[in-house]
Each structure stands twice: as C-alpha cells, then as structure tokens.
Structure 1
Amino acid sequence: MSGAGKVVCVTGASGYIASWLVKLLLQRGYTVKATVRNLSDPNKVAHLKELEGAEERLHLFEANLIEDGSFDSVVRGCEGVFHTASPVLFEVTDPQAQLIEPAVNGTLNVLISCSKEPSVRRVVLTSSIAAVVFNPSPKGPDVIVDETWFSDPVFCEEIKAWYYMAKTLAEEAAWKFSKENGIDLVVMNPGFVTGPMLQPTPNCSTEIFLDFMKGKGVLPSYQIVDVRDVAQAHVSGFENPSAHGRYLLTERAVTRSHVLEILQKLRPSLNLPKFPVGEPTHQACNKRAQDLGVVFTPFEVSLKDMVESIEESILLS
C-alpha cells in the first residue's frame, strides 16, 4: 500500500467525487484528514465512517470555505491536499455570493493554508471541463478540445453560465497563487461525472439523470467520465512525481440520443423522452490522463452502475 504512513487532506469529503477519493485513499493505506461543512449531519459523514479503514485512519473535521484560516489546522502534517470542495449550483439568484466568492475565495483559503505548511508537497485541485470549453471558439464534431483550452469568464458572464464562470475563475486564481507561492499544483478537469454514489443523497449529476429517467428532464450532450476514474486520476496525480499541469478527464462524448438508447436497454419500462439523433458538440483528448495511468470505464458500464445506485437509494420512489 503506497500510502502507508502518509497523511493527506480531502476538502469537501462528503461529495460525490470526494467520497470515492476518500475510499480509494483509505484502500491505499493513507491516513485521511477530511473536511465537511457539518459534522453533525449524518448525510455528510455516516457513509464516510463506514468505509474500510475509516475507523483507524479517517479523521473528520469541520471547515468553512469562506472562513479565513479554516483549513490551517487540517492541512498541518499533510503531504498532499486534495481540494474538491466547491459549490455546485446551476440556478442561483446571487451568483457572486452563492457561487463565485465561495469557489474562488475557498480555493485561495485552502492554498493559503497549504503555503504556510512545509509538509505539503503537492496540491491536487478538482476543477472541471467547465473551466476548459466555455469560450467563443468554434466547436463541432471534428473539434478536439485539450488541456490548452481555457474557458473565458467574460463569455461565461455574457451567457449567464455562472457555475462555469465560478470554476474558471477559481482555477485561474489557483494557478496564479500557486506560481507566486511555489506550490506544486496539479489540476483535474473532469467532464460530466457518472457512476455509482457512495453518499446517501443525490448530487447534481444524479439529479439530472434522475429527472431524465422520470421523463421530466433535459439531458445535454456531454463529455462523460466515471466517478471512480476521477478519484483514481486524483490519486495518480498526487503519487506520480512527473504529474504536472492540467488533466482532462473524459471517457468519450455522448449525445442525448445515445444516453437514451442505453437507458432504454437497461430499463425498458421507463417513460423516457425522445430526442433526434445528433452529434457531439466537440471531442476531447484524454491522452494526458491515459499517460498518467488512468484506465477509463466504458460509459455503458458507468451508466448502468449509476442507474442501479440511484435505484438502490430509493430515489425513484
């Protein structure tokens, strides 16, 4: 177990990606200091406490993204810090207060704490494809997006894509601060995340699919990646000494009609909406992630596991 004797921190540990990350880190022998917003909320901590190795090597802390110094004591003694905590909201009344400030200031708060702690040798940040593709550049089925692409905050603001703007500004702030303060930063940019849940309540990804399965929602075309692969990429991004820069995490581009076709085979009884056959809005290059050692789970497997996970959580009742 390569993590034996090593201490790492995971922020926002109760989340969809972070829960799998904590699980994988514990499996690899790490001692994990994990932060949540509310230690007294069983929906946030119960599933983490049940993970294998949690009793011996998982330590939970309460921390607030927008509270200065909130992460100082948590990162103390850690070799690696995985910053996954960030608000995920697509409908907001005050984007600055609800999304942008917590995302940007929260990222800076964590990095400031890391800059004061000599033991921290690398920070792995969970960004998003939202910080990659939202710009005015022409796109089409033959366009290949890679890590050199960056979203444009001005463009995001113009189209009122507040979540995408928040992720873009947070990643920009992270790169700037890290370069100015000598922090070894690695950034993960996952596409739309699918796969099974560990947490008991749905997140944005599962809620979108849940609505879609009930025939109510609209599912856009997406770059898809399995949550377990995202967790693996984070760990590899920390453990591999040569890891650097950004990593675009996507198994493939899918369309609504493709998702519909797979869901119809999985659950023929569902009243699914109908969509015309279309093409992906763009392709994405995952070569850097593969070079890091990430083996991507086929979307068909990921979607099947996600559907079963949703049903097991009795979210369709």
Structure 2
Amino acid sequence: MKTVGIIGGSGFIGSYITKEFLEQGYSVKVSVTDIKKSEKYQHLFNLKNSDTLNISPLKVENLSDLKDFISDCEIVIHGGTPFQLDVKDPQSELFEPTIKGTENFLAAAKEAPSIEKVVFIASVAAYNTNFPLPAGGKKPQDTFNESDTPFISEESHPYAQAKYIANQTVEKFINQHPDLSFEITSVSPVGVMGKSLSNREDSTSTGLQFLIKNKIAPNPFIQMLYDTDTEFALVDVGDVAQAIYKAATTNGLHGKNYLLSSESYRISDMNLMLNHHPPKNKAKVIYDSSLANKDLKITFKPLQKTFNRYSQ
C-alpha cells in the first residue's frame, strides 16, 4: 500500500482528493494547520476506507515539519495554499504562505527519499491573473489553452498574483534540477464548483456559490461580477480530484501544467442553474482542456449536473 501525503487535504477540493485516494486503496496522510480544530477535518473519517487515514499538523512555512510530513510518502499533493478573496494583509495572508510554502516544499521534496510523484494544485491564475476576465490582449470570446503566453497584472487580486508567482517558482525549480528522481506535474483548475463534503463554512468556493445563488454582493468584486454579468469558466470539484489522481498516478507528465475546465457561463445563468432553472444562454468553452482530456483520460461533466447536486 503506497502512501500519499495531501497538503490541504481537508479543504473543499482537498476533501475530494482525499476521498479519491482512499477509495483507490492508498494510505493517506492529510495535513491540517491546527490539529485542535477537529471540526475542520472530522468529516474525512466518514469516508470509505478511512481506517487508512492519518491527520497531521503542518504549517508549510515550517521546513523541518514539512520534511517530516513527506518523509514516508511516495506521492505528495500540494494544495495547501489559502484561497481568499477578502484580504487585509496580502503579504502575510497570501504571498508568504503561498510562495514561501512552495519554496519550502520544493526544498523538502528534493531531499525526500521515497517520493515518486508530486502534484501541485496551481490555479487558472498561473495562466491568467485577470480571471474570470480575459487575459491582456484577449477578448471575452477568445479561447485560452496551455500554449498561450501566461499573463500577470499588478492590478489583479493578490491571490491570483501569489498563485502565478508560485507556479513560476515551480517551473524555475524544474528547469534548474534536470535530474530529479521524481516527477512534478501541476494542474490549474478554473472556478471550482460543487457540493462540499463537509459542513465547514469557511470555503471560498462554497461561499461563492451561495452568494451567486442568492444574488448577494458583500464586496465590490462580487458586485462587479453581477454588474458586468461576467462569463465564468467553471469545473466540477469531483472532476478536479479525479484529474489530480490521474496526474499523480500517470508517468511521463513531468513539467506539465494542465488547465482543468468544463464550460463557461454568465453569472446570470449560474444563478438560474443554482436555483434549478435552465440557463438562458448556451455554455461556451473558453478555457480549452483538450490536453487534460488526452493525457489524463478525463471528461469534464456539464455544469448543470454540478449545480443540481450543489442545490440538493
């Protein structure tokens, strides 16, 4: 039985990744920032095969703890960077844990004796920090794929900038270490939607769905989405977990970063589907996931199914 370490494995996406690996027969280690807050990870013990689940405290800024966490893992999934839209101090809340955490992890992984595969959960922001708006030079209807030039703007949200820089850090590390004993693969999901496996109320993705369903705008960013009826590229959380499992267990993907995307819908159509009504407009495909379809052998489900499940 191989061991997979999942940094951030109790969050919205992470819980589905934990579920996937448990069901596939792996021994799973999940990191949490505060072991005392059991309400943030207790739901994982309701999953199938949870007798092979272990919860460990970890802060990605702590290099020695990071080395200890991954020391006995054959596979490590790094998804432990915070997804936050409301930020008071971008440096301490986003840039330090995201970028420094990535640097520490790479240093620890380089010395880990048993690692065979690392998967980074990046973000569509690794390709376009303007998301959900088009990248610079692109029109709303223009498609985007992995061959397009990545775009970053200082005017973008700090979360997006942090994820972009973290991805650049990974790419630089791969180029500087051509003789690694393990593979590194990244995935970059667009807006991740779906039903949470927990009752946690601190998930940004779950919260965004709640806001759109009920037309609530707690900040200027969300209000802008309504005002412009922004077109959002979306993907199902279960499909993201499956893609990550495939990336972790398929050889020959070193250095690749896969866009994970299903369909694009306007905010008004998302509101309708979240309330069990059909969309007025047809779905578009803005972010092309053909490479993930081909290499990871995955088909992304229509978003109508995702929203129906969320609203059950």
Q: Give the TM bin, normalised by the shorter chain.
A: 0.7 to 0.9
2:258 counterpart residue number: 247
Choose from 107, 125, 132 the match for 1:130. Answer: 125
Seen in structure 2, the aligned counterparts of structure 1 residues 225 and 160 have a Cα distance that, compared at 3 Å, is closer
- Does the 8 A contact of 1:9 with 1:81 survive in 2? yes
Q: CA deviation at 1:214?
A: 2.5
Choose from 294, 303, 309 the match for 1:305. Answer: 309
Q: CA deviation at 1:215?
A: 2.6
Amino acid across the alignment from 1:285: D
- Does the 8 A contact of 1:17 with 1:231 survive in 2? yes
In the superposition, the TM-score normalised over structure 2's length comes to 0.87
1:209 counterpart residue number: 209
- Does the 8 A contact of 2:123 with 2:187 survive in 1? yes
Residue 92 (1) aligns with residue 87 (2): yes
- Identical aligned residues as a percent: 27
Amino acid across the alignment from 1:129: V
Using the alignment, how far apart are the partners of 1:187 and 1:129 within structure 2?
11
Gaps of 5+ in 1: 268-274, 309-317
Seen in structure 2, the aligned counterparts of structure 1 residues 150 and 113 have a Cα distance that, compared at 3 Å, is farther
Amino acid across the alignment from 1:139: K
User: 88-97 vs 13-22, which deviates more?
Assistant: 88-97
Cα deviations by residue, 1:126-173 (Å, 9 ceiling, x for unpaired): 0011111236532224411111335444x1x2x142111010011111
1:140 counterpart residue number: 139
- Does the 8 A contact of 2:259 with 2:288 survive in 1? yes
SS in 2 for 1:230: helix
User: 186-195 vs 39-48, which deviates more?
Assistant: 39-48
Q: CA deviation at 1:277?
A: 7.1
Choose from 289, 292, 307 the match for 1:286. Answer: 289
- Does the 8 A contact of 2:129 with 2:164 survive in 1? no
2:70 counterpart residue number: 75
1:149 counterpart residue number: 148
SS in 1 for 2:233: strand
Using the alignment, how far apart are the partners of 1:6 and 1:20 within structure 2?
18
- Does the 8 A contact of 2:276 with 2:308 survive in 1? no
Using the alignment, how far apart are the partners of 2:45 and 2:283 within structure 1?
43
Using the alignment, how far apart are the partners of 2:41 and 2:287 within structure 1?
35
Cα deviations by residue, 1:258-300 (Å, 9 ceiling, x for unpaired): 2133234359xxxxxxx997997x8111111111111212100
Using the alignment, how far apart are the partners of 2:188 and 2:21 within structure 1?
20
SS in 2 for 1:295: coil
Q: CA deviation at 1:82?
A: 0.3
- Does the 8 A contact of 1:14 with 1:36 survive in 2? yes
- Does the 8 A contact of 1:34 with 1:61 survive in 2? yes
Residue 230 (1) aligns with residue 234 (2): no
Amino acid across the alignment from 1:242: G
SS in 1 for 2:72: coil
Using the alignment, how far apart are the partners of 1:160 and 1:146 within structure 2?
20
Aligned residue runs from structure 1 range 1-317, under 5 A: 5-55=1-51, 57-134=52-129, 137-149=136-148, 151-153=150-152, 155=153, 157=154, 159-181=155-177, 182=180, 183-202=182-201, 203-217=203-217, 218=222, 219=225, 220-244=230-254, 245-266=256-277, 283-291=286-294, 292-308=296-312
Q: CA deviation at 1:188?
A: 0.4
Using the alignment, how far apart are the partners of 1:228 and 1:98 within structure 2?
27
In the superposition, the TM-score normalised over structure 1's length comes to 0.86
Using the alignment, how far apart are the partners of 1:239 and 1:276 within structure 2?
40
